[in-house]
Structure 1
Amino acid sequence: MQPTLSPAPSSTVSTLSKHPFKEPKQVEALASFRTLLGPDSEKFDDGELMRFIVARSYDLAGAKAQLLASLEWRKANKVDDLPIPGANNSNGVMYAVRGWHSVPDANIESGQPNVPEHAVRLQKYMGGSCLHKWDKAGRPIYIERMGQHNVKGLAKNVKTEELVDYHIRCSEFVHSTIMPECEERFGTDDKVIDKETVIFDCTGMGFHQLHMEGLNMLRSLTDMDQKAYPERLGKLFIVNSPYVFVKVYSMIKKWLDPGVIEKIHILGKDYKSILLDHIDEENLPDFLGGSCTCSHMPGGCVPSIVMNNIKPVEKTPAPTGSMLAVPTYLRPRSSSTASANSIMDFVMPGKPKDGIYQMFSTMAHGKACEYEVVVADEDVEHEPEVIIKFRIKGIRAACEGLNFTVARFEFGEKADSGTIVVPTKFYSISECPETGDGLEVKFRAKDAGLYVLSWKPENQRGLVQMEYGVTVDGIPGEGSDSP
């Protein structure tokens, strides 16, 4: 149940912020949220708390769950210990930067301090990216030549956990180094700068980029950004968007929170005037309609190995230490009951036991637990077998009436048109053992695509405790380990 907002404090503005929030709804929500958090709320600036409040549409219980889960994720993965480039260190950058005081203009280079090998390797397949100056609101601008990505090369030569680790390092750099500089240079008492403006240039994009593993990687990054870094996006401009992107976006929208969708502006060829409404001409690259060329730097404004405007960087020794644990092919669906009680389950999976992952959550009657299986083009030739296992855990709650369905969503011109349904069977509690191998449901994946597995309890009491596991030809899926 969403907490009721308590009366606003006697002051008309929030007090624990460099940029006090003044709107009554914001002040009231912050006061109630701090009461809900208790003494620990003093550790957080109002701006940070407000990002989680807005991300959860003022559902304070949901905001608290997301905030605490993100803190646990940061602690478990030692995110705060990552070596981030800044004014007081010599750490190398993860991508090109232009126009900042805290970090001189630079490109990613091999041999630089604390630049991991995978950050260098993936540059061979990225279309080019740069943190390029700032917009009229004082927000940093991130530009990515998405249409030039070698998606198949990226998926085959870079692991998902490597890409996510790289993305985290880039995000921490923007939030910890660049945004504080933006605050100092452009912030005012009434304007907080805690978001960035993003431009995706789709020039060159085609159906050759519709690669399942690559799209699965994109999903991992999208999930993480929404859960670990809520409300960090100011605006996203997608320019030179071809027909193929429109088809892909029809699927991608289902991954995004409504608040994120509102910030996305999909533009075709007539985008220059819109960009210039938000960005000064001297801060916008000339290939996007501005006047900046960054001619003093190799590769100009946005260097790209794929576009041959910069020499390839050499390979550096692999770093020591473990990567962040992120599932590659199989995972609970972020919008389903499976992840509702474990906000960060896609990066903190439960540990398997006898091939079965644990899920401890109360599933309301009629609510489905959903799970995703991505079958890549290269794997579909041998029609991999998908196996779903279930068994009761702890309290023997209502197991009679488990409803299994599987839906397949295709990309391209057939987006969302295909559906596969596994024959429905209602399993009684006697068929769902407490120990042993458990109950199995199997099917063959005869097409490449995204398979969405769904199961739900039919008993009014709901399914209190359940263990499940998903396997594709020996590849174990990631379950959630919810409290």
Structure 2
Amino acid sequence: MSKYTLQHEPEPQSNGVPAGGKLAKREAALIKFKDKIADVHKASHDDYVLHKWLKARAYDVDKAADMYRTSMAYRQKMGVDRLTAEYQPPEVLKKYLTGGFCGHDKEGSPVRVELYGHLDMKGLMYSAKKVDLEKTKLLQCENTLKDWQEESKKRGKRVDGLTVIFDMEGVSSKMLWRPGLQMYLHLVKVLEDNYPEMMKRMFVVNAPRIFPLLYKLARPLISEDMKNKIHVLGGHFKDTLLQYIDAEELPVYLGGVKTDPDGNPRCATMICPGGEVPREYFLQDKDNEDQLEVATVPRGDKLCLPYEVTKPGSVLRWEFKTEDFDIGFGVQLLREGVKETVRATERVNSHIVPEDGSVTCHKTGTYEVVFDNAFSWARGKRVQYMVEVIGPVDEGMHSEIKHMLTENTDLAWESNANSKDESTTL
């Protein structure tokens, strides 16, 4: 048992009288939980830690026990207990997996900066195996646990939690690439399933105009408890961050005074800046496009695929690749018998690197995705593709996001000049 005691939430009161039952029920749940996991109980998990697993499943003992057992089996499979001593991430992940730890908040919790807008998820997925992406993220969490122990000894009290600064500077519609978004959310779920209640708070800074759509896509994986830990700051974030993090623990570009030894205000030696992954890192046998439709575009011909957009503000997004040769690609809108160009048709080297993109549809109508092989009279082209229409963010979702805003503005990201939505609009 750790010498640091569990800090329970205060008892709810009714008419000034403690309800008295909530704490007792949680303690009873803890006893049952410990009994159910006795054969797999990790020695370092004291009552404080075990309460996290229960809280993650709303104190449903059976669900918490299933979660715990699944996690212990996963840890064994991945060799998590040996990661800090034995595992070295591949070079490409060391150089291009964005983010890092820069210090501690005022309570001693580590501060991690995530540079989501500089993350080349496609390049990383073409250059590293899924297991290495998972192990690298698990290693970050294991290092966080070690940091808690060190800070607890230094401060003489239990240090817990993680403060995340989620920087969305540079985010554009490219982040809608489905495999990359799915992989990122998968990694988030891996961490939540194996390190419950680790994140104390998240500050979203430089939130772009596309933020509501990204939030809508990620929302199914965000619990109510997690949602309450997210604070959207937009571009005016420095004063808020300094309420929780001392200037000495915060990089200059985020409002602090911390720099690299060479004076770099972005602390690049601590916070990996990421960037586009060079193609020389790509693995030849990587193939991340599964469950794609397949079609052959005959020589000298076109393939036109219609998609109905019934709500203004919807997003049409696509990804595709061809075998051996390039192809023309474009998007047009059909309204009342008239065709309007949304994206001019041009030849793309989708046989070298899979193509992806999106357009925001401000008009309703039939949007045609065009694969154009009219320039080739020698051969047909085999295309693997995925096209989908994502409905606009509804008022309910906008209202939920507004509750996370900490600035006196309706849409903090609308005025953020640092992040632009690069999707084509019509």
- Asked if 1:185 corresponds to 2:154, the answer is yes
Q: Residues 169 and 207 of structure 2 are in contact (CA less than 8 Å); yes or no, is this contact kept in structure 1?
A: yes
Could you say what secondary structure the match of 1:301 adopts?
coil
Cα deviation for residue 307 of structure 1 reads 6.3
Q: Percent identity, aligned pairs only?
A: 26
How far apart are residue 68 of structure 1 and its match?
1.6
State the Cα distance separating 1:238 from its structure 2 match. Answer: 1.1
* Preserved contact between residue 244 and residue 412 of structure 1 (Cα < 8 Å): no
Structure 1 residue 28, shift from structure 2 partner: 3.7
Cα gap change, 1:261 to 1:170, in 2 (>3 Å): same
Q: Which runs of 4+ in 1 moved over 6 A?
A: 327-331
Label 1:69 to 1:330 Cα distance change in 2 as closer, same or farther (>3 A): farther
Question: 2: CA distance between counterparts of 1:17 and 1:59?
Answer: 27
Q: Render the CA deviation track for 1:157-179: whole Å, top value 9, x for unaligned.
A: 2232221121111111111x211
Q: 1:122 to 1:376 in 2, by over 3 A?
A: farther
Cα drift, residue 27 of structure 1:
5.2
Which of 20, 23, 26 does residue 6 from structure 2 map onto? 20
Give the structure 2 partner of residue 32 of structure 1.
Answer: 29
Q: Describe the shift of the 1:53–1:414 C-alpha distance in structure 2 as closer, same or farther (beyond 3 A).
A: farther
CA change 1:20–1:209 in 2 (3 A) is: closer
Q: Specify the code of the residue in structure 1 equivalent to 2:149.
A: P
1:65 aligns with 2:34: no
> Hey, what's the Cα distance between the residues in 2 that align with 1:448 and 1:65?
37
3-state SS in 1 of match to 2:234? coil
How far did 1:151 drift?
3.0
SS in structure 2 at match of 1:194: coil
Q: Distance in 2 between matches of 1:305 and 1:280?
A: 22
- Paired with 1:225 and 1:248, the residues of 2 have a C-alpha distance of 19
- Structure 1 residue 180: Cα displacement: 0.5
Deviations 1:345-400 (A, max 9, x none): xxxxxxxxxxxxxxxxxxxxxxxxxxxxxx97135999xxxxxxxxxxxxxxxxxx
Q: What's 2:319 paired with?
A: 377
**Superimposed CA distance per residue, residues 184-233 of structure 1 (whole angstroms, 9 cap, x where no aligned partner):** 22353xxx422111111111222233322211210211211221111000
Tell me which residue corresponds to 1:79: 80
Written as runs of structure 1 = structure 2, the 5 A alignment for 1:291-440 is 291-295=257-261, 301-303=267-269, 304=272, 306=274, 377-379=319-321, 413=360
Measured after TM superposition, the shift of residue 154 of structure 1 is: 2.1
1:150 to partner: Cα distance? 2.1
Task: Using CA pairs under 8 Å that are at least 6 residues apart, name the structure with larger relative contact order, 1 or 2.
Answer: 2
Residue of structure 2 aligned with 1:125, choices 89, 96, 112: 96
The runs of 5 or more residues in structure 1 that have no matched partner are 1-14, 85-90, 92-113, 319-326, 332-374, 383-409, 418-443, 452-483
Cα deviation 1:269-322 (Å, max 9, x = unaligned): 1111111111111111110011111325888623445469xxx9x99xx9xxxx
Which residue in the other structure is 2:329 paired with? none
Alignment of 1:45-194 (within 5 A): 45-84=46-85, 114-116=87-89, 118=90, 120-126=91-97, 128-175=98-145, 177-188=146-157, 192-194=158-160
Q: Displacement, 1:448? A: 3.5
Contact 1:138/1:182 (CA < 8 Å) preserved in 2? yes
The separation in 2 between residues aligned to 1:42 and 1:35, in whole angstroms, is: 16
Structure 2 CA distance, aligned partners of 1:248 and 1:285? 26
CA contact (8 A) 2:126 2:288 kept: no
Higher strand proportion (structure 1 or 2) = 2
What is the RMSD computed on CA atoms of the aligned residues? Answer: 3.9
Q: Which amino acid aligns with 1:35?
A: K
Corresponding residue SS for 1:267: strand
The equivalent residue for 1:427 is none
Count residues with an aligned counterpart.
292
Aligned counterpart in structure 2 of residue 289 of structure 1, from 235, 244, 255: 255
Deviation at 1:58, TM superposition (A): 1.6
SS of corresponding position for 1:133: strand
- TM-score, with structure 2 as normaliser: 0.59
Which runs of no fewer than 5 residues in structure 2 stay unpaired?
11-19, 292-316, 325-356, 365-382, 391-426
Q: 1:241: Cα distance to partner?
A: 0.9
The residue that corresponds to 2:225 in the other structure is: 259
Instruction: After superposition, give the CA deviation of every residue in 1:4-57 in whole Å (9 maximum; x if it has no partner).
Output: xxxxxxxxxxx8762234556345413332234328269441111110111111
Tell me the alpha carbon deviations over residues 234-271 of structure 1, each in whole angstroms, 9 at most, x when there is no partner.
Answer: 11111011112332112111222221111111221111
> C-alpha separation between the residues in 1 aligned to 2:127 and 2:179?
11
| Structure 2 residue 389 is matched with structure 1 residue 447 | no
